[in-house]
Amino acid sequence: EAQVTQNPRYLITVTGKKLTVTCSQNMNHEYMSWYRQDPGLGLRQIYYSMNVEVTDKGDVPEGYKVSRKEKRNFPLILESPSPNQTSLYFCASTLSANTGELFFGEGSRLTVL
Amino acid sequence: SQQGEEDPQALSIQEGENATMNCSYKTSINNLQWYRQNSGRGLVHLILIRSNEREKHSGRLRVTLDTSKKSSSLLITASRAADTASYFCATDAGANNLFFGTGTRLTVIP
């Protein structure tokens, strides 16, 4: 089944404790992206990757890192999480940046205390 | 900001009625997409309309695009309780990013 898989789905952590949210897609998509969703703000792009070893900042990259060592994986790293990073995070992918339809993971709800 | 804005923010209708939600945006676009999100779940792509198209249909969905007004509408006909969800428009301006609006929360009452 074609899908984007995120883990963990739910996480409660404390300020400063490094964490990684994994994202994997099995559709051989070149383009992958991370979004955060906050009430009243919609979805905002954090980072995106056009292909392996190619990543770029989105609209709200501060406090986040990403890597794209393999085509299927695009982990989101919070080196020192802060409470303002409490949010619902979505990974998404598509065949290439201009092909349109994004496929989304089920989301990772992160709470930073 | 290129972010789209949906209107209304919330809509409540009876099952069987039609639901219309609107999206306005600020910059020129390559295409506009509509997505659906069930509560707390991932977004699901519904339909894409390109800048040179004015109307598109998919099952009970009808999307229009008016590039001169920088607006789009999504019509869901003969709504069902299962259509209850949030609906987002997303604009593709060719900047390797889709800009999402804040969504319309649709409630269909059985």
- The per-residue pLDDT for range A100-111, each reduced to its tens digit, is 789 999 999 999
Six token digits for residue B36? 């659906």
By the CB < 8 Å criterion, does B95 face chain A?
Answer: no
Q: Which residue of B has its CA nearest to A42?
A: B102
pLDDT tens sequence across B39-59 = 889 999 999 999 999 999 999
Q: How many CA atoms lie within 13 A of A76 on its CB side?
A: 32
The answer on pLDDT for B26 being more than 80 is yes
Task: Show the beta-strand stretches assigned E in B1-110.
Answer: 5-7, 10-14, 19-24, 31-37, 43-50, 55-58, 61-66, 71-76, 85-92, 98-100, 104-109
What is the reported pLDDT for A100?
78
What is the reported pLDDT for B94?
73
Cβ-proximal residues to A4 (8 Å cutoff; 6+ apart), any chain: A23, A24, A25, A27, A91, A92, A93, A103, A104, A105, B42
CB within 8 Å: A104 and B43:
yes
What is the reported pLDDT for B69?
95
Q: Are A69 and A49 in contact (CB under 8 A)?
A: no
What is the reported pLDDT for B95?
66
Q: How many CB atoms lie within 10 A of CB A87?
A: 21
Q: How many CA atoms lie within 13 A of A98 on its CB side?
A: 6
C-alpha torsion B48→B51→B56→B60, nearest 10: 40
What is the reported pLDDT for A41?
86
Mean pLDDT of A64-86: 97
By the CB < 8 Å criterion, does A38 face chain B?
Answer: no
CB within 8 Å: A33 and B3:
no
The answer on pLDDT for A22 being more than 60 is yes
Mean pLDDT of A67-76: 97
CB nearest B40 (choices: A42, A56, A107)? A107
Confidence of residue B2 (pLDDT cuts 50, 70, 90): low
By the CB < 8 Å criterion, does B39 face chain A?
Answer: no
C-alpha torsion A23→A42→B4→B82, nearest 10: 80
